[in-house]
Amino acid sequence: MTIELLYIQGCPNHVPVMNMLRETLDSLGREDEIHQVEVHTKAEAEAVRFVGSPSIRINGSDIEPWARIAKGYGLSCRTYLNGSSYGVPSGELVRRAIMEGIGEDG
């Protein structure tokens, strides 16, 4: 399974999301590597379809379905829809995305 954490420098939610990812993987008995990808420029953001910091992708797909078809890219903070907008995804959203990724790997 490929796990990417895309972020911009200075993002206050980068480390909390990294910790959440690691804790979720640990709770599932997984040792998958988390590839951290720092996005530096608007051109890079467009090239990698970066919808905001931090973004989690499992096997190339964003953990939120809306972000998979988004067209607005750039160097900005991201909010997740956890009942209200917040800069860190819910633990359930992360866990579900990882479980789907495990299923894709067969």
pLDDT at 60 over 80: yes
> What pLDDT shows up at residue 104?
82
Is the confidence at residue 12, as pLDDT, over 80?
A: yes
Q: Is the pLDDT of residue 17 over 70?
A: yes
Q: Report the distance separating Cα 27 and Cα 22, nearest Å.
A: 9
> pLDDT band at residue 10, thresholds of 50, 70 and 90?
very high
Task: Kindly report the average pLDDT of the chain as a whole number.
Answer: 93
**pLDDT recorded at residue 105:** 72
What is the per-residue pLDDT for 21?
A: 96
Burial class (CB in 10 A: 0-12, 13-18, 19+), 57: buried
